[in-house]
Chains A and B, each alone.
Chain A
């Protein structure tokens, strides 16, 4: 590992440690810890929410729900439950998906989003992951083995919160084809991840 990568990995480990410490202080009802946690992760969670919900007012409300949940559930979190960032991103994404259920008027296609037909996902550039993401060369490698179509469908679903039907509409491919790309994409990902001990 080169020194630069090493220091990046170290800063991510420190970030994880800080999040763990803050969650345990939240579990002890320390409101200062929630404020610091908000400063650190709200911008990422808000980015997830706006991307899925596509309406700022709705995303702002959802962000409040997410931090209320984090505060109430901090005591249930432990490092054995995985990385704190994955836990918080999941809370945010699931909340957004739940809200989508009730919001039938969300436009299916917003022209300035990079997920429009044929567009390449942003930040395709290799190398540095943002500090909030744990480093994983293996995962990058395995994602790299997927076909472009598979990877694009997975991104449309995960990042954009799009359903099978949305993706079929967005990409102009039949529903059955989209479903099978996604299923096979996930399957290959798992096989690749588990091939390495």
Chain B
């Protein structure tokens, strides 16, 4: 299959999404999609549009065992207190003991992951550009781009932590749409821990070649620790 035939790409993409492309041809097409942006784009085009054929589908509640089974497969800790267990304890133990345990269970059932710091980067006129969230417990940085953050031609926006008394530390290139999530290095985490601000600079595509901002700093925003 030659990727330069856009008519063919479109026809195959539509039949792939529809589900009528089957057998070895489907497998081949999946590999092609995984390696070719143009093919992937056409698939997404059809995925969004053909979804309307399922308009009449009525939601069906899956049986209760499915969610715990998924959690088990992913090794996730339950997010909610095991109510039955607490009730049994209540029968057996004194009110004081139960109160103590309930407190403990409540503490244990708090959502496992919360942003430890966040920042909203906006233009001077108040238009929101990015929301940055730091998850120190899972070592992740999640950035959500506002709906339209136009990329400066041939350049990228790069995010920087501004640690007190130190040089800026790169937190990577910013997405111009959608959400990006990346693992923080120890150096980035340490820099964020002593930063009260983040900055955005315009850099050559792919990010600063020197490890320090080389272009204009276009945004500076406060980084707030979450309570």
A positions within 8 Å CB-CB of B: 20-21, 23-25, 27-32, 34-35, 38, 42-44, 46-48, 50-51, 60, 63-64, 67-68, 71, 74-75, 77-83, 85-87, 89-90, 93, 97, 101, 121-124, 129-130, 133-134, 136, 139-140, 143, 154-155, 157-159, 161-164, 182-183, 186-187, 189-190, 193
Q: What is the interface of chain B mostly: helix, strand, loop, or mixed?
A: mixed
The stretch among B9-17, B83-91, B210-218 that forms the contact with chain A is: B9-17
* A40 to B113 alpha-carbon distance, docked (Å): 20
A-B contacts, 25 of them at CB < 8 A, read A27-B179, A28-B181, A30-B111, A30-B113, A30-B114, A46-B60, A51-B57, A68-B74, A78-B180, A80-B176, A83-B48, A86-B48, A86-B51, A101-B22, A123-B55, A124-B56, A133-B54, A139-B49, A154-B50, A157-B20, A158-B50, A159-B53, A163-B20, A182-B15, A183-B15
Chain A min CB distance to B34 (Å) = 11
Asked if B128 CB lies within 8 Å of chain A CBs, one says: no
Chain B residues near A82 (CB-CB < 8 A):
44, 47-48
* A182 to B14 alpha-carbon distance, docked (Å): 10
Q: Is the CB of B133 within 8 A of A63?
A: no
B positions within 8 Å CB-CB of A: 10-11, 14-15, 17-20, 22-23, 26, 44, 47-63, 66-67, 69-71, 73-74, 76-77, 79, 111-114, 133, 135, 138, 140, 142, 144-145, 147, 175-181
Q: Is the CB of A48 within 8 A of B18?
A: no
Chain B residues near A32 (CB-CB < 8 A):
79, 111-113
With A28-B140, A124-B56 already in contact, 10 other A-B pairs whose C-beta atoms are closer than 8 Å = A32-B113, A38-B67, A60-B62, A78-B175, A93-B19, A97-B26, A101-B23, A133-B52, A154-B50, A157-B18
* A130 to B56 alpha-carbon distance, docked (Å): 8
* A85 to B66 alpha-carbon distance, docked (Å): 20
Chain A residues near B62 (CB-CB < 8 A):
42-43, 46, 60, 63
Given known pairs A28-B140, A68-B73, A157-B20, the reply for A47 and B55 (CB within 8 Å) is no
A183 touches which of B11, B54, B69, B113 (Cβ 8 Å): B11
Q: Which of A32, A38, A80 has the most CB of B within 10 A?
A: A32
Q: Is the CB of B71 within 8 A of A31?
A: yes
Residue in chain B with minimal CB distance to A98: B26
Q: Which of B74, B114, B176 has the most CB of A within 10 A?
A: B74
Residue in chain A with minimal CB distance to B22: A163
Chain A residues near B17 (CB-CB < 8 A):
90, 158
